[in-house]
Structure 1
Amino acid sequence: MLKKKLQLFAAPINTTTAADLEPAISVDFTTRIAENIKELQEVIGVSELIPMSAGTDIKIYEIKKVNTPSQVGEGETIPLTEITRKLVKTYTLDLNKYRKNTTAEAIQKVGREIAINQTDEKLVSEVQKDIKKSFYTTLATGSGTATGTDLQTALANLWAKLQVRFEDMDVTPIFFVNPQDVADYLGTAQIHMQTAFGFTYIENFLGLGTAIISPQVTATKPIATVKENLNGAYAPVSGDVGAVFNLTADATGLVGMVHDLKTDNASVDTLLMSNVVFFPEYADGVFVATISVGE
């Protein structure tokens, strides 16, 4: 009799439980995000992301030679060459948190997989958007300048500036350009565009280097640096934070996700935590050009 009573309170067959949602869905999304980030690393030339504790300060510096002393004769005092290293910008590697909710009605209407996954896709896009926004913000700290009368001359002059700044170094130039600035060129040229992490890029653009095309770059203000000047860091979510919130993370801990059933309002919460940043090591190694059309 007791066995029969217990069966009355057992979960109905095919009931969606937390085990059904976690970790299968989370594994899929965290793996995809991590793979996309690795694709972006390859495009911009960052070979390895540096794990740092949340709250760590990332400092961007500018190195300048103040003077150029003359050579002296034998036995004479050699003048000092003054080199300054100035702090330009400090960023704090904070843990970014994202949350969204899927209602029972949405799940009933289109099914669990579509209702949860489609809205999770939007959440993931916000993560990618924040990583890109942060990256372009740091590029804006660039202190080098160049000019040009059109895109081609501007990029050529940026390339020349990079050769001077990184003289005697084996470097790979990379450019960031607004779509409007390449529209005319793209209309007549046969080129192959690729995408990674929401970035559109062209390899060996104009024979100068990789060009990433983004509306987040100001029109007529293309930016250039070298891949060797770019770094990446992240705050792993696979430690105490991941354990406390039961996050499913990829092997590196780049991103963590968990799904939680909310019985108080009949919905499913999705929580995602991540913080990956890309930044230039030296601000004076980043050059911003001005295209002066018609001048």
Structure 2
Amino acid sequence: MKKKLYDLQLFAAETGASLSTDLEPAISIDFTSRISQNIRELRDLLGVTNLIPMSAGTDIKFYKWTVENLAEQVEEGDEIKPTKVKRALNQTITLDLDKYRRVTTAEAIQKVGRTIAVNESDDQLIKKVQKAVKTSLYTMLKAGTGSASGASLQIVLANLWAKLQEYYEDEDVTPIFFINQQDVADYLGTAQITMQTAFGFTYIENFLGLGTAIVSPQVTAKQPIATAKENIRGAYVPMSGDVARTFNLTADETGLIGMTHSTATSTATVDTLIMSCVKFFPEFADGVFKGTIAGE
């Protein structure tokens, strides 16, 4: 018995040793809180009141409404011809886990310090994660089926606004526009305008008196996009349960992002692991209108 106790002491941690548990929580909690706050700002900007929690692997289906022209009125007693209304599947996306990982070596930490090697480098990774969320939104917006055109940005946005008013005739909605930065620059010239940022988005409130305009290079030049904020939905896979417990993920109270830092003594490195699945999408593709600036 004494021998066994003696052997166990060979594997005990040295007093004052830095353990992986000393490194992981503080850094991960700080980062997840900041990312979640950014997502909340994006949600507010897009007008998404609630993010819907869903299981990983869930399919989100997008639909398009088709309504035939109303039939002509008939005389008393004559047969009334039907008007066909069809709701057809337009697109399907699957809520797959997004996984990101980077490795920091002991040499990198020794050379520039842990703050730059781990924390500031993680900041750069997070920017890429945020960009992936935005890219998925733009991909689905570009799948919109409505259209409008005009000779200039101002005319196209006005026509897009008119299309929204027609489509959402019986609803009280808030227009939102997505515009390439060059189109905005061409229109504004030297005009002074106040721009703000959220989640890496640059946006202009009440642009031309029409609604919020989000400015991004991910929108094709001369092809602005418009929809109603009420048409944009959000869903996420909570970073909890078996996956979080298995990989020791840290998340804030929202559960939007899971993150962990761990040391690998066999390679003298620090691993950064991020898992998430946050998607913003238009509920109806035909409620998204793509503009074309035809020029002179």
* Shared fold, TM over 0.5: yes
User: In the alignment, which residue of structure 2 is the partner of 1:277?
Assistant: 279
Q: Sequence identity, in percent? A: 63
Match of 2:189 in 1: 187
* Pairing 1:65-84 to 2, within 5 Å after superposition: 65-84=67-86
Secondary structure of the equivalent of 2:290? strand
Instruction: Specify the alignment match of 2:257 in structure 1.
Output: 255
The whole-number CA distance in structure 2 between the counterparts of 1:44 and 1:73 is: 48
Give distance in 2, aligned partners of 1:8 and 1:156.
72
Q: Name 1:36's counterpart in structure 2.
A: 38
- Where do 1:96-107 residues align within 5 Å? 96-107=98-109
Q: Is 1:162–2:168 an aligned residue pair?
A: no
Whichever residue aligns with residue 165 of structure 1, its letter is Y
What whole-Å deviation, never above 9, does each CA across 1:46-79 have from its counterpart, x for those lacking one? Answer: 0110111111111111002113122344454433
Deviation at 1:21? 1.3
Distance 2:173 2:95 in 1: 27
C-alpha separation in 1, matches of 2:223 and 2:62: 21
Equivalents in 2 of 1:215, 1:114: separation in Å?
A: 29
Give the one of 14, 17, 20 matched to 1:11. 14
Q: How far off its partner does 1:127 sit?
A: 1.0
Partner of 1:241: 243
CA deviation after TM superposition for structure 1 residue 152, in Å: 0.4
Q: Per-residue deviation at 1:10?
A: 5.0
User: What CA deviation, in whole Å up to 9, does each residue of 1:172-216 have, x standing for no partner?
Assistant: 000000001011233332211000011000000000000000000
- The 5 A counterparts of 1:34-183 are 34-183=36-185
CA distance in 1, matches of 2:11, 2:167: 76
Q: Deviations over 1:6-36 (max 9, x none)?
A: 69975364x4321221211000010111000
Deviation at 1:222, TM superposition (A): 0.3
Amino acid at match of 1:56: T
**Structure 2 residue 22 is the aligned partner of structure 1 residue 20:** yes
Measure the CA separation in 2 of the matches of 1:238 and 1:116: 24
Determine the C-alpha separation between the residues in 2 that align with 1:178 and 1:193: 14
Q: Which residue of 2 aligns with 1:289?
A: 291
What is the distance in 2 between the residues matched to 1:78 and 1:264? 79
1:251 and 1:168, CA in 2 relative to 1: closer, same or farther beyond 3 A? same
Give, as a single letter, the amino acid of the residue that structure 2 aligns with 1:11.
E
Residues 102-156 of structure 1: CA distance to partner in whole angstroms, max 9, x if unpaired? 1111111222222210111122112101101100000011000100111100100
For 2:46, give the aligned amino acid.
Answer: I
SS at match of 1:249: coil
User: Which residue of the partner structure matches residue 214 of structure 2?
Assistant: 212
Distance in 2 (alpha carbons) for counterparts of 1:205 and 1:44: 15
Query: 1:8 and 1:145, CA in 2 relative to 1: closer, same or farther beyond 3 A?
Result: closer
SS in 1 for 2:165: helix
Amino acid at match of 1:232: G
154-163 or 105-114: bigger deviation: 105-114
What is the rounded CA distance, in whole Å, between the counterparts of 1:80 and 1:101 in structure 2?
64
What letter is aligned with 1:131? V
- Point out where structure 1 has 5 or more consecutive residues left out of the alignment: none
Alignment: residue pair count:
291
Q: Distance in 2 between matches of 1:133 and 1:264?
A: 37
Q: Which runs of 5+ in 2 are unaligned?
A: none
Q: 1:252 offset after TM fit, Å?
A: 2.1
- Which amino acid in structure 1 is aligned with residue 84 of structure 2? E
